[in-house]
Every structure is written in C-alpha cells, then in structure tokens.
Structure 1
Amino acid sequence: MSTAQTSLEAIFISHKRGQRRIHPNRSLLRVEGIKSRDTAQKFIGNAVISEYKKDGQTYINKGMITNAHGNSGVLRAKFERNLPPQMVGKKVYLKLYKVEDLSY
C-alpha cells in the first residue's frame, strides 16, 4: 500500500541578501530536483512548514513561497516568524498545496 506524498524536503540555505544588507524576513530554500526558474515558479503560493524544538516542545512555523530567486531553482519564502540563522542548512517542508495570501 502506498501513501500519497504531501510534502518535499527543502534546505534553508540563507536569508535574502543585498550587497550591504540582509533581509531576514525572506528565506531562501533549495529543493532537490528543482533546477530552473520555470520549475520553481510552479511552486509560488505553496505552503512551507518549519519545525523546531524548544524546551522539550515542538513548534511549527508556517509560511508560503513568494517567488523564485535567481535562475537555479531556489525559492524565496516568507514565514510567520523569521527563521533564525542557526537553522541554515536545516530541513523545512514544502507542501504540495497552495495557500491563501498570508497577512504577515
């Protein structure tokens, strides 16, 4: 019996950056298998979930894909709470469904 896959694993690679400034409210995510901007744009509007543990409890941070970043298939996401720099290199989950425009 097979179960339907509802999410893809993504790696939080960095915050969006300029030459002199870091934008911590935008997170850059890399998903295995997405290699072009055209493929990445199909995921705009999808939900993203970040899980982290603090004091023995698991917390969920919800977000959504806002745009593609560059030409190599990197996705730009916005979360309810900004992802901390300690999460660079950690997994987040890209859901395979669209969400309404989030007001954060």
Structure 2
Amino acid sequence: MEEKRKNKPCCAADALRQVRRVNVGGTVIGFTMLDAVFAEVAAMGIWDDAALGEELVRRVREHNYIPPGAEALYTAALVGEFRADGWDRHSGGCGCQGW
C-alpha cells in the first residue's frame, strides 16, 4: 500500500507534471500516472495483447476518464504506447517480448 501512495501525486501541480500525451484514434489525450501504470503492468509479465490491453485500461481508468464506448480505441493506443516505450522487454532489454 505504501508503494501506491508513493506514486500518487501530492498536489494538483505534481499531477499536472505527470501528464503524458498519447494519440488515441487521432486525438491527443493527456493521461496522468501513465508511467507508473506501465511499470506496474510490465512487472506482471503480460504478453498477450488482449490481456495486456484489458489490464492497462483497468489501471489507467483508476486515474483517468475513459469514455464509455471508446475502450477499444484507448486499448489499442495504450498497448501501442506500452510496446513503443519498450515496457514489454525483459529487464535485460533483449526485446524478445518474453518468449
């Protein structure tokens, strides 16, 4: 529990500094706590895109609004950003995506 508190912003200004922009279906959306969510999910070792997307959306939704009916767009964008950032690699950085 203490680890989760450490990652949460202490104030509105800190939260604003943690906003990261991602292209979601052609619209740039600002997400807060995205790097923390990516780190948590990467530690889980989920390699399947469907399961990965479901977990990312579930955790991102804890800190951000995701409009009803837009889950598929958000899922695709979050999985793409997660993979592009290299979070899906082993700690050794070999890029084999856990296979």
TM-score (norm 1): 0.28
Q: Which has the higher contact order (CA 8 A, sep 6+)?
A: 1
Higher share of residues assigned strand: 1
